[in-house]
Amino acid sequence: MEVLSPDEGAQALSLARSAILTHLGGGGEIVAELAAVFSARRGVFVTLKSGGALRGCIGFPTPVLPLGDAIIEAAVAAASQDPRFPPVTLEEVPALDLEVTVLTVPVPLPGDPDDRRRKVEVGRHGLIVRGYGRSGLLLPQVAVEQDWDAATFLAHTCNKAGLPPQAWRERAVEVSSFEGQIFQE
């Protein structure tokens, strides 16, 4: 994975904020001079926090769009389409803290399902659980923020997918890990 520089991380955050402001202000084209890395397809999530509490988080777990486009779409969706929260208002935006997490490509955890917890590195890996027509994702920083061990992280990712907490031990359930480069305001 090509690592973004601190300046490119600042560009990512500025792009996310501009996308939200443009969307809430009635739309229009976002004009930004972006580094070349923003044209490469990358997975990304944009997280919004208000007073330290989650206010929205949406993204693309896999590299389906160029990074610049993915940031714009994820930022707008986090502000307006996260089903857990009402849409963000224009008045709220100045008080929001934004976080952009640029992802590596998810890789299935190999081996026996009971060994999965030993392959998860808290603070390094994010998780995706898929099974029985459901899926859930938690970013790497979530386990650190919640002070979870690997087994607890796996259980909460299963819960996010709407599966029983121990579903990660089943062969019918796929668990993938990814890494993320986190940029915060």
pLDDT score of 165: 98
pLDDT given at position 68: 97
Residue 1: predicted pLDDT: 64
Task: Indicate the residue type of 148.
Answer: W
Token pair for 33:
């001079």
| Domains of the chain by start residue, with CATH | 6-103 (3.30.700.20), 107-178 (3.30.1490.150)
Q: Which amino acid is at 56?
A: G
32's tokens: 């930004």
pLDDT for res 26? 85
Closest by Cα among 17, 12, 14 to 43: 12
In the chain the first and final C-alpha atoms are separated, in Å, by: 23
Query: SS3 of 100, please?
Result: strand
CA within 13 Å, CB half, 54: 14
Question: What's this model's pTM, rounded to 2 decimal places?
Answer: 0.93
Strand, helix or coil at 108? strand
Length of the chain: 185
Q: Which two tokens stand for residue 44?
A: 């990304």
CA distance 180 to 140: 7
Per-residue pLDDT of the chain (185 residues; tens, 9 = 90+): 689 999 999 999 999 999 999 999 987 888 788 999 999 999 999 999 999 999 999 999 999 999 999 999 999 999 999 999 999 999 999 999 999 999 999 999 998 998 999 999 999 999 999 999 999 999 999 999 999 999 999 999 999 999 999 999 999 999 999 999 999 99
